[in-house]
């Protein structure tokens, strides 16, 4: 078995109390069966508190969020009460793993860090130079489908990481190489699609509406092309799958460029047009779109439909 990850993967470390957009606020926190059994066996005041804040609905356990949708174990200083009391051993899987994700193949696991975390977004976007996938030296076996997929994906990486090629040119190259057809969506049409989705943060639809009203000319002369390359690599690496049929394969590539179009435009529309703004916009986009399975699936299907219209 081989484990693969982008070279920036091991740079990630949770910034805990320094985090502005705490992942312990606003998200339902599921509890895996192994950790739930550990909680049920725990005695004392902490054990009683744990049991009082766990809801089991349809067999799936999760924490009951408090005021402001805060995890009941999130302290005022932004730290976790469970870690303070007992260290990492009491954390459930999702708290231990977030924002890390895994994609599985026959004899290979690909690891990454998710863009919805502000520190992960900062690491991904600020990475200098091309992104290299590193491995632990383990053995792996490819089947023919996977071998073809990895070769095709590497060709995509080679195109999107060329710093001297504009996004429009990259998309044109990919359209020719992989028979991708990007739907002829205007920026307003892209925004309209996103406005139909459910949202997590009330500020998100406001930002989208402001973008429609800004009437700025958003072109490809963007100050941080390397950052956009990194984001494009992230979206392809995370979401492109060897099991995708041709329609889904093309839709995911279109999704990456759709995402860049929105993130770039929202950043340029901001009064504080700087790299930290780009990082925060990318984080919010990720939380609203790719971290909602429903919204992500709706967008993929919409991109398929628009292409065929």
Instruction: Answer yes or no: are the C-beta atoms of 131 and 9 closer than 8 Å.
Output: no
Q: How far apart are CA 63 and CA 71, in angstroms?
A: 7
pLDDT less than 50: residues of the chain: none
Q: How far apart are CA 287 and CA 279, in angstroms?
A: 12
Q: How far apart are CA 150 and CA 159, in angstroms?
A: 14
Query: H or E element: which one contains 228?
Result: helix 225-239
> Taking CA 293 as the corner, what is the angle to CA 292 and CA 297, rounded to the nearest 5 degrees?
120
Number of Cβ within 10 Å of residue 170's Cβ equals 21
Q: How far apart are CA 101 and CA 114, in angstroms?
A: 7
What are the distances in angstroms from CA 136 to CA 61, 111, 126? 35, 12, 24
Crossing angle of helices 187-195 and 293-308, in 10° steps, is 140
Q: Are strands 30-31 and 54-57 parallel, antiparallel or unpaired?
A: unpaired
Dump pLDDT digits (tens) for 248-281: 999 999 999 999 999 999 998 877 778 899 999 9
pLDDT, residue 25, reads 86
Q: How far apart are CA 59 and CA 287, in angstroms?
A: 26
Supply the DSSP symbol for 288. Answer: I
Structure-token pair, residue 249: 């394969």
Structure-token pair, residue 228: 């956009």
């Amino acid at each position: 078995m081989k484990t693969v990850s982008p070279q920036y993967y091991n740079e990630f470390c949770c910034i805990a109390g320094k985090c502005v957009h705490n992942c312990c606020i606003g998200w339902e926190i599921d509890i895996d069966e192994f950790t739930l059994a550990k909680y049920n066996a725990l005695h004392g005041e902490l054990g009683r508190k744990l049991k009082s804040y766990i809801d089991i609905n349809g067999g799936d356990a999760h924490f009951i969020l408090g005021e402001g949708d805060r995890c009941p174990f999130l302290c005022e200083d932004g730290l976790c009460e469970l870690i303070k009391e007992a260290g990492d051993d009491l954390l459930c899987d999702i708290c231990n793993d977030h924002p890390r994700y895994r994609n599985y193949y026959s004899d290979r696991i690909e690891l990454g860090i998710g863009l919805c975390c502000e520190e992960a977004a900062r690491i991904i976007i600020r990475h200098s130079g091309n992104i290299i996938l590193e491995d632990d030296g383990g053995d792996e076996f490819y089947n023919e489908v996977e071998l073809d997929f990895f070769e095709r994906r590497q060709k995509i990486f080679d195109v999107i990481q060329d710093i001297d090629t504009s996004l429009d040119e990259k998309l044109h190259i990919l359209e020719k190489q992989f028979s991708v057809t990007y739907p002829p969506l205007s920026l307003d049409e892209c925004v309209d699609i996103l406005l139909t989705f459910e949202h997590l943060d009330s500020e998100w639809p406001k930002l989208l509406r402001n973008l429609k009203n800004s009437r700025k000319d958003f072109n490809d002369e963007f100050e941080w092309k390397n950052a956009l390359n990194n984001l494009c690599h992230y979206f392809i690496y995370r979401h492109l799958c060897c099991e995708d049929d041709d329609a889904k394969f093309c839709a995911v590539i279109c999704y990456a460029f759709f995402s860049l179009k929105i993130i770039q435009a929202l950043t340029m529309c901001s009064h504080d047009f700087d790299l930290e703004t780009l990082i925060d916009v990318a984080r919010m986009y990720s939380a609203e779109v790719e971290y909602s399975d429903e919204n992500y699936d709706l967008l993929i299907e919409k991109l398929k439909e628009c292409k065929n219209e």
